[in-house]
Amino acid sequence: MEERQVTTDGQTRPLPDPFFVIATQNPSHQIGTFPLPESQLDRFLLRVELGYPDHQAERALLEGGGRRAHLPTLAACFSPGQLAPLQRQAAAVHAAPALLDYVQALVEVTRNSPHFIHGLSPRAALSLLAAARAWAFVDGRDTVLPEDVQAVLPGVACHRLRLARSDHHARPDDVAALLHTVPLP
């Protein structure tokens, strides 16, 4: 997918632009599910946990019938042609050298921490910066702040970090503890 094409049965097909994957994760204890290798997990930009719906939202699900029936009624927020310029604008959000130092310091802490089996990769550092830029852009700013990095760090890091003491993936609290070890720029 990184090459923006897929090959099946010897035939290569280009992927549309924009292209992205949204996947769901089943609990690891379910029959037929297996953990992805770290190299594959590292390719996912974010892991977002939605949790269970509140009482009213769950009731609306129950009363609304099959969720697939609602798809035709949903309006697109953006066309592909409208999304690409927004992606370019988000990628152009300024990150000062001090902010880059902060991102590097956070990543290095994970690499040297006895709490994790291995630290965040260079791909994770790039993902952290890209997500922080997008967060700042959505907030209407043209510069990334440390708070943007802090806001996206759990989503970027938790699925990439395995705890040394249990071999489970890090939780948001584990990642939030990193923020106390790295001084703000």
Q: 135: domain range?
A: 5-179
pLDDT in tens, 29-38: 667 777 777 7
| Beta-strand runs (E) in 11-113 | 11-14
Judge whether residue 61 has pLDDT over 70. yes
Percentage of the chain beyond pLDDT 70 is: 95
184 found inside a domain: no
Residue 79: exposed, middle, or buried by beta-carbon count in 10 A (0-12, 13-18, 19+)? Answer: exposed
Q: For residue 123, how many other CB atoms are within 10 A of its CB?
A: 13
Is 13 domain-assigned?
yes
Query: Could you report the per-residue pLDDT of 13-53, keeping only the tens digit for each?
Result: 998 888 877 877 776 666 777 777 777 777 777 888 888 88
> Which CATH number fits the domain that encloses residue 142?
1.10.8.80
30 inside domain: yes
CB 171 within 8 A of CB 180: no
Residue 137's H or E segment, with its range, is helix 122-138
Residue-wise pLDDT for 99-136, tens only, equals: 999 999 999 999 999 999 999 999 999 999 999 999 99
Q: Encoding tokens for residue 125?
A: 């550092």
Tokens 């297996």 identify what position?
Answer: 34
Average pLDDT, the chain: 88
Tell me the per-residue pLDDT of 126-173, one tens digit each, with 9 for 90 and over: 999 999 999 999 999 999 999 999 999 999 999 899 889 887 888 888
**For the chain, how many structural domains are there in total?**
1
